[in-house]
Amino acid sequence: MQSPTGKQRSQRIQIDYYKRRTGLDRWRRLCILLSLLFAGTYAIYLVYFLLAASSASPIKVSAGSQTLGQVLQRHFNTGPLSLSHASFERDCHVCHSDFTPMDANAPSDWLPLIGVNSDVSRKHLEDACQKCHFAGNHNRDQMTAQFAAKDQNCSWCHQPHQGRDFDLTRISRKRCATCHDDLTSVTNNAPTINKSVTAFNEVDHGDFASLKTGDAGRIRFSHDLHMMPGQVGIDAKGGMTLDRLSPSDRVRYSLENQKPTDLVQLNCQSCHEIVGQTVIDGLGTNLKSVDIELLGRSMTPIDFEKHCVACHAISPGVISSTDDPLRLPHAVSPTAMRTQIAATIDGSRATGTSRQRRDNSKKTLPPGIGEPSSHQSEWRVTDEEIAAAEELVRKQCLTCHFSESLADDAILASTSSNTTAMIPTRWLRRGLYDHAAHRLIDCRFCHADAYPKSRTLPQSELVTDDHEKVLIAGIESCQGCHRPADTPTPEELITRTLELAGTTTVLSEQSAADLIGMMPTWASDECILCHRYHSPTPKSHTVSPPVTSQSEAF
């Protein structure tokens, strides 16, 4: 068969082909229309973005002063980083992976189809943050997969690109409420804490959990007695007077214009001191020159040799030549105590600092004064004397301790760093309280139960042991000041200050402020004031961080 000529082939082509519309033409037209629609939508979005910048701009640039180029730059780069992260501003890869979202709410169902894995991106960000911030996760192993992804995404709470002066550690309550408004949907198991916390009040937050479990201390103690003049009721004899104290203790416990014969009057500061109190007092109002958070978060531990020994010295009953009882060390096991007793009595007799046994006349010089006695049997301590002194010491110990705390193994365990302290240094175990920030407020505002109802009570009406009761006020003592900014000063705050002042006169808000040490009657109620998010530093980190950032505390 003969092949067709070129002319024959050209006759097959329809000359008006360009006037006909094929399927390809329709698709091309649709794509053009969609492109125009997208461009128009994007232009409208840019106008909206420009107008929105005038009302709320993280970098505080008014709309009138922004050019279209600045608006476009802000659209693709959502704002400057905070000052501490400004060095990363041109190195986006430090935090970001190309075309990979970090947001836990990203549409992860279809992203893997185009090769995008948001889990990889969040892991990349977490590793980048942990190079400087050694912070553990927040109970992530108890969360569902959705909320565990949020916990892994550091930027979920510490939002970047908010401007040079933005504080990355100031997390809003709304972020916390994302999970804590309904913990049943967050955790794999039933939550062991309040399943819904949305605001700081007794209804939406609940009272402090530590107040419901009782005091964890294991020491018999009565605040009522110790806050009374002389530490006794008004009808009791033997009240502690200043002249019964040692000279150094007398100076420490003397109040203004007191005479040596006056009764000792203790106050909260006699035993409880804010960590770094001397530093805080020296700074006065210039507290910004020191990391006050590290100083004021807790109180110094109660120490027997510092806070108790002035009145409760441990003595074996031996009277020295100065008529002062000989003192024994604290927290010594019974086995070691017997040795201490024997050595103390023998040593005091041998050196002449105590009276001889069987001689109360003081006429005969004891050993160590003049010619030493050659008959040791005249002054060596006997087994009967050791036993009597040991029983006397035991009775002194039982004034504050339970009998099971006096065994050798119990005393040895109490000196271990792994043992819970007999007197806790922190009672609110699920929240933090800054004593330094509240130092001007009268202690009675939060610890009214630690004071006797009156300083004229007889001994029979005083509580002899309050060690099982947490003498801390509940959430009502806090929410008077820590409340939303748009709420007025509640009547409860003024009423409470009136009770402290012992008056029923109606006071103004300014007068109420006077009664709480001129502190402001409003303060933030954000969760981060009392709660920390991150668990302790992961054990895998062994290298010390180069710089400690405030964000590590959260």
Q: Is the pLDDT of residue 552 over 50?
A: no
Asked which of 215-219, 362-366, 380-384 is least confident by mean pLDDT, the reply is: 362-366
Instruction: Give the pLDDT confidence of 6-26 residue by residue, as tens digits.
Output: 777 777 777 777 677 777 888
Angle between helices 173-180 and 145-152 (to 10 degrees): 160
| Per-residue model confidence (pLDDT) at position 381 | 79
Confidence of residue 242 (pLDDT cuts 50, 70, 90): very high
pLDDT at 497 over 80: no
pLDDT tens-digit map of 398-433: 999 998 888 888 888 877 766 677 888 778 888 888
| Token output for 23 | 């399927």
**Is 50 exceeded by the pLDDT of residue 370?**
no
Tens-place pLDDT, residues 21-61? 777 888 888 999 999 998 998 888 777 766 665 554 444 44
Q: What is the pLDDT of residue 362?
A: 46
- Can you give the pLDDT at residue 360? 47
* Domain residue extents for the chain: 24-185, 315-422
Greater confidence, 378 or 462? 462
Choose between 357 and 498: higher pLDDT: 498
Average pLDDT (371-393) is 71
Least confident of 200-214, 221-235, 296-310: 296-310
| pLDDT above 90 for 233 | yes
Alpha-carbon distance of 325 to 315, in angstroms, equals 6
Q: pLDDT for 174-213, tens place per residue?
A: 899 999 999 999 999 998 888 999 999 999 999 998 888 8
Report the alpha-carbon distance of residue 449 to residue 472 in Å, rounded.
7
Q: What is the pLDDT of residues 311-321, one digit of tens each?
A: 998 887 765 54
- For the cut 50, the answer to whether the pLDDT of residue 369 exceeds it is no
Question: What local confidence, expressed as pLDDT, does residue 378 receive?
Answer: 61
Give the residue with greater pLDDT, 396 vs 118: 396
* Poorest-pLDDT segment among 224-228, 270-274, 327-331: 327-331
Contact 399, 312 (CB under 8 A): yes
Q: Say if CB 95 and CB 125 are below 8 A apart.
A: yes
Percent of the chain residues past pLDDT 70, beyond the cut:
73
Q: Return the sign of the alpha-carbon dihedral for residues 378, 380, 382, 385.
A: positive
Q: What is the pTM assigned to this prediction? A: 0.71
Asked if 187 contacts 143 with a C-beta cutoff of 8 angstroms, the reply is: yes
How far from the centroid of its chain's Cα atoms is residue 365's Cα? 60
- What are phi and psi for residue 6, nearest 5 degrees? -60, -35
Query: In the predicted model, what is the mean pLDDT of residues 341-352?
Result: 77
Q: What is the mean pLDDT of residues 132-142?
A: 87
Q: How far apart are CA 211 and CA 471, in angstroms?
A: 9
Query: Which of 507 and 77 is assigned the larger pLDDT?
Result: 77
